[in-house]
Amino acid sequence: MIDLHTHFLPEMDDGAKNVDESILMLREAYKQGVSVCAGTSHIVLHSESNIEAFLKKRDNAIVSLRKKLVGSENLVPKLIYGAEVFLDNDISKYNGVEKLCLTGTNLLLVEFPTREYNPEYAEWLYSLTLKGIVPVIAHFERYSYINELLDDLDSVNVAYQMNAKTVMKNSWFKFILGLYYHEKKVLISSDMHNMGLRKTCMKKAYDKICKYYSKEVAGDFFENTASQLISTVFIK
């Protein structure tokens, strides 16, 4: 499985509190069958300078994690890095915003305010696509205006990320399948934050889709779509 939305990097946000917790989270992900895992720490973007500050802080977090992982790299997934960018303004105007994409790709994980719908959201995403970026909308299930957003995004090239925990709720099961059969790019990630209440549950969710639907659909949600997105938007 490929997990493109997690908060395993230490001391970056409300995710891993320290390197030890990062390693426990990554080992658990690996045990559950995750082979590639993206660290997507939160960033709220209101100026160009905070892109650089974020990247510097993220580099330091990666260095301390890598140091502690020496000798046990084979017990954790392959690690890639990005950000989860809060979208409450048109971030395409900031120079260097593409540096927040997942390592070596044009994929940018973005999240919106959960309750306040704004018709400009689709325009902001469209502006990002004009820069060659493919926005991945984080935990799409979380927005109270989900239907309006879906309509607005009908012709915008985006991917829809849903949280593994959501798959465990029957009420969302049909919705996710509906998106899939409307040929939307849907991927399921953990959005893991810790080893407690927000621990990864990728395997349970994968098994549920296999049991109640099919291994083929589960493969698309948990691996193939993410894998295609990573490879097709790779920056040469």
Residues that bind Fe ion (CB under 5 A): 84, 191
CB 177 within 8 A of CB 213: yes
Q: How far is the CB of 142 from Fe ion (least distance, A)?
A: 10
Q: How far is the CB of 113 from Fe ion (least distance, A)?
A: 14
Q: How far is the CB of 84 from Fe ion (least distance, A)?
A: 5
Q: Which residue is nearest to Fe ion (CB)?
A: 191
CB 226 within 8 A of CB 107: no
When the beta carbons of 21 and 191 are compared against Fe ion, the nearer one is: 191
- Give the amino acid at 194: N
When the beta carbons of 84 and 220 are compared against Fe ion, the nearer one is: 84
CB 36 within 8 A of CB 80: yes
CA–CA separation, 211 and 217 (whole Å) = 11
Q: How far is the CB of 87 from Fe ion (least distance, A)?
A: 13
Element at 42 (helix H, strand E): strand 36-44
When the beta carbons of 28 and 191 are compared against Fe ion, the nearer one is: 191
Among all chains, which residue has been given the structure tokens 């100026």? 47
CA–CA separation, 19 and 8 (whole Å) = 9
When the beta carbons of 3 and 84 are compared against Fe ion, the nearer one is: 84
